[in-house]
């Protein structure tokens, strides 16, 4: 499982041309599910995302989390996080999980994230056509990968 986490001033997603789903300050989470990922990975990833201390405290140090500050989260599924670009000019996505198990883990991630005291959780829809608008604050962008946790 791989998540690209960005600290944002604001973010929104439009799904299939529908109304904007937006948040104020908080975290933007692009979530990729890898073939072979299992449900036991999801709670730890949700906890890590919600509680990662990437917001500045009164001394200007990244020492506060979205949960501590009562911020929100915008979550979007993104299979392209598992693009393989080693050969040629067209990425391969064979490492990404198949749609059914990937959607199940994405939905589980949303459910787990709801266990934390975030002000709001907005999200895209698995497999839909989505447009994202955001202001990355900092910029702060962090990649969380469960494969790295195994090392």
Using a 10 angstrom Cβ sphere, with 0-12 exposed, 13-18 middle and 19 or more buried, the burial of residue 85 is exposed
Q: Name the token pair of 92.
A: 């391969």
- Which of 147, 112, 143, 144 has its CA nearest to residue 34? 147
Check residue 151 and give its pLDDT. 75
Helices (H), the chain: 41-51, 66-69, 99-113, 146-149
Instruction: For strands 72-77 and 121-123, give the pairing.
Output: parallel
Check residue 27 and give its pLDDT. 98
By three-state DSSP, how is residue 148 classified?
helix
Under 8 Å CB-to-CB from 88, ≥6 apart: which residues?
none
Q: Name the token pair of 91.
A: 């990425």
- Which of 7, 18, 125 has its CA nearest to residue 72? 7
Check residue 150 and give its pLDDT. 79
Distance, in Å, from the CA atom of 15 to the CA atom of 91, rounded to the nearest integer, reads 24
Residue numbers of the chain with a pLDDT score lower than 70: none
Containing 91, the helix (H) or strand (E) segment is none
**141 close to 6: Cβ distance less than 8 angstroms:** yes
């Amino acid at each position: 499982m791989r998540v690209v986490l960005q600290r944002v001033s604001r973010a929104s997603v439009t799904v299939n041309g529908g109304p904007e789903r937006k948040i104020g300050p908080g975290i933007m989470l692009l979530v990729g599910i890898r073939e072979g990922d299992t449900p036991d990975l999801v709670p730890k990833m949700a906890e890590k995302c919600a509680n990662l201390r990437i917001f500045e405290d009164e001394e200007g140090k990244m020492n506060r989390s979205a949960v501590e500050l009562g911020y929100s989260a915008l979550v979007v599924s993104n299979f392209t996080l598992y693009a393989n670009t080693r050969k040629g000019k067209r990425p391969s996505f064979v490492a990404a999980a198949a749609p059914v198990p990937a959607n199940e883990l994405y939905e589980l991630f949303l459910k787990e994230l709801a266990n934390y005291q975030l002000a709001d959780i907005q999200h895209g829809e698995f497999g839909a056509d989505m447009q994202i608008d955001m202001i990355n604050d900092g910029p702060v962008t962090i990649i969380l990968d469960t494969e790295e946790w195994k090392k």
